Structure formats: C-alpha cells, structure tokens
Amino acid sequence: MSETLKNIAKSFIGESIAAVKYSLFAEIAEKEGLIEAKNLFIKTAEQEKNHAKIQFKFLSELCGKKDLETLKVEVNIPVQLGDTIQNINAAINGEIYEFKNMYPDFAVKAEKEGYSDIAAKFQALARAEEGHAEKYSLLMKKIKNR
Ligand SMILES: [Fe+2]
Ligand SMILES: [Fe+2]
C-alpha cells in the first residue's frame, strides 16, 4: 500500500478528531461564558469536518482503484480535555504540528509517489491549518488581555 494512501487515512482520522474535539471545546467555552471562543471552535470544527470529507472522498476513490474495502492505520489520539485556555493551547499546538510538519511531509511523500494532485491538496490543507493556528493565537491574546 502506498504511503500516500495511509497518509490520507491519517489525515481523515486527524481531521475527524479535530472536528469532534473542537465541538467539545466549544461546549466547554460556552459553560465558561467565553462566547467568542465558543464561536471560533464551532466555526473551525465545521471546517475540519469539511477537510475530513475531502480526505474521505480521496481515500474512497483511491481504494476503489485498488479494490480495497478497508484500510488499517495506526494513529495517536490526544485525549485531554481542559479548560478553555488549555484547550486553545492544545488547538494551537495541534494546528502548528499539522501545518509545519504533518502536511508538508505528506505533500513531499505524495509528490515522490506521483500523486501531484494529492500533494497540492496537502499543501492547501497546510495553509488552512496555518490560518487556524493564527486565529486561535489571536483569540488567546484577546482572552489573556481581558
Ligand atoms: Fe483541518
Ligand atoms: Fe485546523
């Protein structure tokens, strides 16, 4: 199985987890009365869900071509839930890892394996995650300066 296929699967899982986690973070922010944080988590969760959908479609197409019905990959799942400050920090760290390491690595591998279209998609995702990191960082500053 190509490394790219596994990386798309990892991306699908990571994006799905991010969508669920940000939804949970939004609930916590709401309880703490941090409405701006709640709104940003909800908006970003929706975007992560869209990323997951895109990756699932790629995965489905590629697996279809290879006559694969299921895929097996190993992933690390970050399992901590904190208060909103901790959750924004976790979100920033996750986004930074994605745009600085994960997606650029995935893009290089996809290019090497001849999947230029998928490499471009990984690069586009890296840029989207960079935008998320910036928005969360800005939010963190605002909350700390209150
Ligand atoms: Fe994403
Ligand atoms: Fe993101």
Ligand 1 centre distance from Cα of residue 91 (Å): 11
Per residue of the chain (146 residues), give pLDDT as tens: 589 999 999 999 999 999 999 999 999 999 999 999 999 999 999 999 999 999 999 999 999 988 989 999 999 888 889 999 999 999 999 999 999 999 999 999 999 999 999 999 999 999 999 999 999 999 999 999 98
Domains of the chain: 3-144 (1.20.1260.10)
- Please state the three-class secondary structure of the chain as a single string: CCHHHHHHHHHHHHHHHHHHHHHHHHHHHHHCCCHHHHHHHHHHHHHHHHHHHHHHHHHHHHHHHCCCCCCCCCCCCCCCCCCHHHHHHHHHHHHHHHHHHHHHHHHHHHHHCCCHHHHHHHHHHHHHHHHHHHHHHHHHHHHHCC
| Ligand 2 mean position, distance from CA 68 (Å) | 28
The model's pTM? 0.94
Distance 48 CA to ligand 2 centre (A): 6
Q: Say how many Å lie between the CA of residue 50 and the centre of ligand 2.
A: 11
Distance 44 CA to ligand 2 centre (A): 7
